[in-house]
């Protein structure tokens, strides 16, 4: 069962959308398609399935790499990809990503700000399903001292 909007509401929404596009406050369908394509070319499954080990971790989780997924999601804002137009996840702790490389030490870290854990990681690719698994173990000497 399809929900139908009153014609007045539909008309008002279309007018609002057009005014936002004309004022440069909204992206056109063509612009969105371009940005989606750019994002997929960098972080889509076709690209990621060809990466392993450190290259995969770096592409996904390294803030120091301006071509990483986490950098794009939190900081990227240029003609290539204006991420703030898609919403913002800026601020807060890097722990929100689950896994990150500490800028100060270069060590892979997980956990929480109250209980950071340094990791020794390796990547295993399941070629049959093209899925990735990150296997990590806490270094006993590093636990709690990320």
**Locate tokens 């301006």: which residue?**
66
Taking 80 as the threshold, does the pLDDT of residue 75 lie above it? yes
Residues 6+ apart with CB under 8 A from 138: 117, 118, 119
Dihedral sign of CA atoms 134, 117, 111, 90 in order: negative
Of the chain, the end-to-end C-alpha distance in Å amounts to: 53
Q: pLDDT over 70 for what percent of the chain?
A: 81
Averaged pLDDT, 67-82: 92
| Count of helices and strands (H, E) across the chain | 5, 4
How many CB atoms sit inside 10 A of residue 52's CB?
14
Pairing of the two strands 108-111 and 100-101: antiparallel
- Pick left, alpha or beta for residue 27 (phi over 0 → left; psi -120 to 50 → alpha; otherwise beta): beta
pLDDT of residue 3: 78
The b-or-e profile of 17-31 (16+ CB within 10 A means b, else e) is eeeeeeeeeebeeee
- Give pLDDT tens digits for 43-69: 998 898 888 777 888 898 888 889 999
Instruction: Report whether 87 contacts 104 (CB < 8 A).
Output: no
- Greater pLDDT, 140 or 93: 93
pLDDT of residue 2: 73
Instruction: Report whether 133 contacts 126 (CB < 8 A).
Output: yes
Least-confidence region, from 10-24, 73-87, 111-125: 111-125
pLDDT of residue 145: 44
């Amino acid at each position: 069962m399809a929900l139908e909007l009153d014609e007045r509401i539909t008309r008002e929404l279309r007018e609002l959308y057009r005014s936002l596009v004309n004022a440069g406050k909204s992206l056109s369908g063509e612009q969105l398609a371009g940005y989606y394509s750019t994002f997929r070319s960098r972080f889509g499954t076709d690209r990621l399935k060809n990466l392993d080990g450190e290259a995969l971790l770096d592409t996904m989780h390294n803030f120091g790499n301006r071509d990483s997924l986490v950098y794009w999601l939190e900081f990227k804002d240029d003609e290539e990809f204006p991420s703030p137009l898609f919403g913002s996840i800026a601020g807060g702790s890097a722990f929100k990503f689950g896994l990150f490389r500490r800028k100060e030490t270069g060590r892979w870290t997980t956990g929480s700000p109250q209980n950071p854990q340094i990791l020794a990681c390796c990547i295993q690719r399941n070629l049959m399903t093209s899925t990735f698994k990150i296997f990590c173990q806490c270094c006993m000497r590093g636990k709690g001292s990320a």
